[in-house]
Amino acid sequence: MDELLAALRAAGEATRLRVLALLGRGELTVGELVHILDQSQPRVSRHLKLMGEAGLLDRFQEGTQVFYRLSENGLGAALNDALLALLEGDGAALEHDLKVLEKIRAERFEKAQAYFRAHAAEWDQIRSLYVAEAEVEQALLEMQGGAKVERFLDMGTGTGRMLEVFAHLASQGLGIDVSRDMLSVARGNLALKSLDHCQVRQGDMYELLLGDESQELVLFHQVLHFADDPQRALKEAVRVLAPGGTLLVADFAPHREEFLRDEQAHRRLGFADDEVSHWCEHAGLKTTEIRHLDGGRLRVTIWRCDKPADVKE
């Protein structure tokens, strides 16, 4: 009862409801919340602290940036769900905030796209700057275990390198990416290697035009650190993953290379082991293996998560 009252009190104020509605669209930095809410930083920070203490929000620091996201456990998570459902109908009051949020995201998206546009041709060299790429590819193949699959989906395929790596295991490979420039390099690479059973398509990893449970293997290789809402991208991957299917995620372990935000449009400075496995488990998968690879300045982590097979009655 006390806990519920404290959480209700923490949520029961106009700015704090706005914060809940905004974070319902994905994690945000304090700076972004200050900008959208158009209030002073100390004021916004006070609201966030209160909501954090009441179990409504989780806070995490990454380099110079502090991020907030909705709490996913316990009473706070249940209350957030209920409040978000009630706030759904309150379009007019939140319209301004959501517009500013969209603008911030569009700007960041454009910045990332400009980066990929400018670097599409030399991406295959850039991608191997930090880690021994051959080692990562070898580890991914080992962790997948060599099982043949009908359909393989490469999320944020870029130049299509991962389609090449997994081509021998899949009857059909599909790479999706938002960047036309990346995709045109990928098409060239696939043609050069005569990988006719692999295709690429322009698409958004948050909203795949693919049926539920249609893919046996889904991979995110160095994609999530660009995502505004990595959890939502994983959830969408889990939607299209078939029962008994495997999700592989390869990304940087937490690091401090802040320059990657400015120079290479990274949103997140890596991910902790339990962050990704928690998201996957929350979406219904089971983490079966986590591996770390040391690659000089940046470490790479690979998560393997499996979807339970259908239980026959």
User: Does residue 55 belong to the site contacting ligand SAM (CB under 6 A)?
Assistant: no
Question: Which one of residues 206, 235, 253, 284 is an interface residue with ligand SAM (CB under 6 A)?
Answer: 206
CB-based contacts of 181, cutoff 8 Å, min separation 6: 116, 117, 120
CA distance 175 to 154: 5
Least gap, CB of 178 to ligand SAM (angstroms): 4
Q: Which stretch binds ligand SAM (CB under 6 A): 40-48, 59-67, 83-91, 152-160?
A: 152-160
Beta carbon nearer to ligand SAM, 76 or 270: 270
Distances (CA, A) of 162 to 18, 105, 114, 259, 288: 40, 27, 22, 26, 21
Beta carbon nearer to ligand SAM, 95 or 107: 107
Least gap, CB of 268 to ligand SAM (angstroms): 12
Question: Which one of residues 127, 197, 282, 291 is an interface residue with ligand SAM (CB under 6 A)?
Answer: 127
47: tokens are 């609201």
User: Does residue 276 belong to the site contacting ligand SAM (CB under 6 A)?
Assistant: no
Helix (H) or strand (E) holding 68: strand 65-70
User: Could you say which residues in the range 217-256 bind ligand SAM, by CB under 6 A?
Assistant: 221-223, 226
User: Does residue 270 belong to the site contacting ligand SAM (CB under 6 A)?
Assistant: no
Position of minimal CB gap to ligand SAM: 158
Beta carbon nearer to ligand SAM, 151 or 267: 267
User: Does residue 47 belong to the site contacting ligand SAM (CB under 6 A)?
Assistant: no
Q: How is residue 204 annotated by DSSP?
A: B
User: Does residue 116 belong to the site contacting ligand SAM (CB under 6 A)?
Assistant: yes
Distances (CA, A) of 103 to 68, 274, 291: 19, 31, 37
Question: Which one of residues 144, 157, 189, 231 is an interface residue with ligand SAM (CB under 6 A)?
Answer: 157
- Interstrand relation of 215-221 and 149-155 (parallel, antiparallel or unpaired): parallel
- Interstrand relation of 300-306 and 286-293 (parallel, antiparallel or unpaired): antiparallel
- DSSP one-letter string for 80-104: HHHHHHHHTT-HHHHHHHHHHHHHH
Beta carbon nearer to ligand SAM, 158 or 295: 158
CA angle 128, 133, 136 (to 5 degrees): 140
User: Does residue 104 belong to the site contacting ligand SAM (CB under 6 A)?
Assistant: no
| Order of strands, sheet of 28-29, starting from the edge strand that comes earlier in the sequence | 28-29, 65-70, 57-62
CB-based contacts of 53, cutoff 8 Å, min separation 6: 6, 10
User: Does residue 300 belong to the site contacting ligand SAM (CB under 6 A)?
Assistant: no
User: Does residue 71 belong to the site contacting ligand SAM (CB under 6 A)?
Assistant: no
Least gap, CB of 31 to ligand SAM (angstroms): 21
How many residues touch ligand SAM under the rule CB under 6 A: the total is 20
- Interstrand relation of 215-221 and 198-202 (parallel, antiparallel or unpaired): unpaired
| Binding track over 166-185 against ligand SAM, x by CB under 6 A | ----------xxxx--x---
Question: Which one of residues 18, 151, 161, 304 is an interface residue with ligand SAM (CB under 6 A)?
Answer: 161
Least gap, CB of 226 to ligand SAM (angstroms): 5
300: tokens are 């790479």
Q: Measured in whole angstroms, how far is the alpha carbon of residue 210 from the centre of its chain?
A: 18
Q: Measured in whole angstroms, how far is the alpha carbon of residue 251 from the centre of its chain?
A: 10
- Residues engaged in binding ligand SAM (CB under 6 A): 116, 127, 156-159, 161-162, 176-179, 182, 204-206, 221-223, 226
